[in-house]
């Protein structure tokens, strides 16, 4: 059997400061949660390997470094994204109201070839707080927003309790993979590494 090419998928996570973007990533990649609030610092992205059907996939998940306060994330952040994850806090109305801005901002900055086909996913985070009693955005309202923006998949999550985090990121990876495979079809005319001639001839250098 031939070696399978590993697929690298770039995922970016957007939403207001404090909604739990970094916590969701930490929970997903490191299985850790911290109650302490610290402005995001350090690496631009974290990676996680997973298998989807027979494909090995590396998710490269990009976090902001707190610049989301100023909505100025720079082109490198958006460039080549395969999926955009939007996060809001179900207990904070403003974080839901600004989703339109994040959605628009992404489309403007990343400028995907077919904006309507580009995969977004919405996460309503912090559903654990006060047993749901302090929530101000209903699931119904969130789903309506998703429906009116091209049927965006929706997950309610808790980074703290590790609720729905794996399921959400699996959906994210699958959505990103669909876009990537579309590009593979586009490049079908170009001979793939590992083809018969490559194996015989080896590297040209
Ligand atoms: P970011 O600015 O969007 O990256 O948000 P952070 O991940 O830094 O989280 C902001 C604060 O919310 C931190 O104090 C986290 O501990 C807390 N937090 C994040 N997710 C959850 C959650 O699901 N439940 C609860 N109760 N707190 C959370
Ligand atoms: Mg953060």
Q: pLDDT band at 35, cuts 50/70/90?
A: confident
Domain count across the chain: 1
Q: What Å distances lie between residue 202 and 180, 187, 192, CA to CA?
A: 27, 21, 13
Residue 202 pLDDT: 39
Rounded Cα distance, 62 and 65, in Å: 10
Predicted TM-score of the model (pTM): 0.86
Residue 6 pLDDT: 77
- Separation of 66 CA from ligand 2 center, angstroms? 6
Instruction: Give the mutation target among 20, 44, 95 for probing the ligand 1 site: most ligand atoms within 8 A of CB.
Output: 20
Rounded Cα distance, 14 and 193, in Å: 35
Helix (H) or strand (E) holding 172: helix 165-186
Q: What is the CATH number of the domain that holds 174?
A: 3.40.50.300
150's CB contacts (< 8 A; 6+ apart) are 116, 120
Rounded Cα distance, 51 and 97, in Å: 35
Q: Which comes out higher in pLDDT, residue 60 or 196? A: 60
Rounded Cα distance, 72 and 2, in Å: 44
- Separation of 89 CA from ligand 1 center, angstroms? 9
Q: Is the CB of 65 under 6 A from ligand 1?
A: no
Is 1 inside a domain boundary? no
Percent of residues, the chain, with pLDDT higher than 70: 78
pLDDT digits (tens, 9 = 90+) for 104-116: 999 999 999 889 9
Domain residues for the domain of 56 are: 6-201
Q: Is the CB of 124 under 6 A from ligand 1?
A: no
């Amino acid at each position: 059997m031939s070696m399978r090419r590993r697929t690298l998928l770039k995922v970016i996570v957007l939403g207001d400061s404090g909604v739990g973007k970094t916590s969701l990533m930490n929970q997903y990649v490191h299985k850790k949660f911290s109650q302490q609030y610290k402005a995001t610092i350090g690496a631009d992205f974290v990676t996680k390997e997973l298998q989807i059907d027979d494909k090995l996939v590396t998710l490269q998940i990009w976090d902001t470094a707190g610049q989301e306060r100023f909505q100025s994330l720079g082109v490198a952040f958006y460039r080549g994204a395969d999926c955009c994850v939007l996060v809001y806090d179900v207990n904070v109305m403003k974080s839901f109201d600004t989703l339109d801005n994040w959605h628009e901002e992404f489309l403007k900055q990343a400028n995907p070839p077919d904006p309507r086909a580009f995969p977004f996913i919405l996460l309503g985070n912090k559903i654990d707080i006060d047993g749901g009693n302090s929530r101000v955005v209903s699931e119904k309202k969130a789903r309506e927003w998703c429906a009116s923006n091209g049927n965006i998949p929706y997950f309610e999550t808790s980074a703290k309790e590790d609720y729905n985090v794996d399921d959400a990121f699996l959906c994210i990876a699958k959505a990103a993979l669909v876009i990537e495979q579309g590009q593979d079809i586009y490049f079908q005319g170009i001979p793939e590494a590992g083809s018969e001639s490559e194996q015989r001839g080896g590297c040209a250098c």
